[in-house]
Amino acid sequence: MLNYINENEDNFEHNIKSLANSRMDLNEEISDKVSEILKNVKEGGNESLFKYMEELDGIKNPSKNLFISQTDIKEAKAKCSEESLQALGLAKKRIEEFHLQQMPKDSLFSDDQKINIKTRWIPLESVGVYIPGGKASYPSSVLMTIIPAQVAGVKNIKATIPCPNNKIDPLVLAALDLCNIEEIYKIGGSHAIAALTWGTETISKVDIIIGPGNKWVAEAKKQVIGNVKIDMIAGPSEILIISDNYSNPEWVAADLIAQAEHDETAQAILITDDISFAKKVDECIRIQISQLSRSMIISESLKNNGYAIVVHNLSKSADIANTIAPEHLSILCKDYEIIEKEIINAGVIFTGVWTPEAMGDYIIGSSHVLPTNGMAKNYSGLSVFNFLRRQSTIMGERETIKTLGPPAVILAECEGLDAHANSIKLRLKD
């Protein structure tokens, strides 16, 4: 089931680099099509948007069927079990508590040159949340995207969600209602990103677009950078597990499978120093898949993107993990604390056998919206900081100009900016 890469092979390092680079391609073959959709919605507004809603979302009469109504939400909540609603409530509470402790505080810098610099953290005014709804439905993504924005202080939050043939997971609507989101649009794909970026006659533009989606959404978010802020360009989901033979191979297999079930392009990788352990995990995968509802998706995912990397010693595992820079990294080996200290490139790290990645997807508290495609090397997971701006207020006094003005004049003149220098010189004369 898994593809094997062994350190005994001569081309081992090359294979690791190839594996890391294989995730970087963001489906350029759809770039032109996405560009056309973005351009049409930008220029055509509602007319173009409604056309795509009919063609791509299967929404009939979109001009009168654009919003999720309160009646829709009420009916959806009635279909949800009490247990599922309680679980959502607990997850919401934990996510709020975690992000509240993230919030930075305003600060004041002052020195003996009579300079005072106040730094304030100001929330963005509006957020557009893309809620995925393709091959699977994710009520958890509603909480993981909206709550950090609310904690940061964003007041205007709207959501778009694909509703193929006007169908939607009731628990998704229940989650949106739990977060008190009233502006919810039945739009998916790149045309949703266009509407949020430039606005239409009905939909107002936003300051930032967040949330994972399919390759059309990822490509659209890539193309609108510069017109609107985005959280990140999310690709297929990923997990990398570092494990020795002290771990339970059934548990390791289950964790790999849990990621592979997202879709056929998800990636699941095991690094181990024991090939016999890797084979035990492989056999457990085969047994477990036969009992799962999404077995075909899992099988295809692991066939194409499932790997067992066998190394001589797990001390090498941190270097490999940092090269791949996975979205999720699970360290399930005996010496997990030693390895964890060496990791610098990962969206999120789970340590110890009692912390499966699936817990992080739902209930632990940090957001599960994380960088993929190796972007953990330069991006962090979604947090309150995505929705905040720093603003500084600077005040000096006469003494400041007298002491810091002359060197500032020198620097201005070195750059050939006489007007800059003059604005300081005039005050030095006073």
State the catalytic residues: 327-328
Q: Which amino acid is at 161?
A: I
Q: Which of 402, 369, 404, 364 is nearest to 383 (CA)?
A: 369
HSE-up (13 A, CA, CB side) for residue 18: 8
Q: Which of 319, 290, 324, 292 is nearest to 307 (CA)?
A: 324
CA–CA distances in Å: residue 390 to residues 210, 251, 387, 408:
19, 44, 10, 25
Strand 3-6 and strand 328-331: pairing? unpaired
Which tokens hold the place of 19? Answer: 């594996």
CA–CA distances in Å: residue 173 to residues 88, 142, 281:
12, 9, 38
Report how far residue 226's alpha carbon sits from residue 385's, in angstroms, rounded to the nearest whole number: 19
Q: Which amino acid is at 372?
A: T
Question: Dihedral, CA atoms, 89, 95, 100, 102, nearest 10 degrees?
Answer: 180
Report how far residue 287's alpha carbon sits from residue 307's, in angstroms, rounded to the nearest whole number: 17
Phi and psi at residue 272, to the nearest 5°: -145, 160
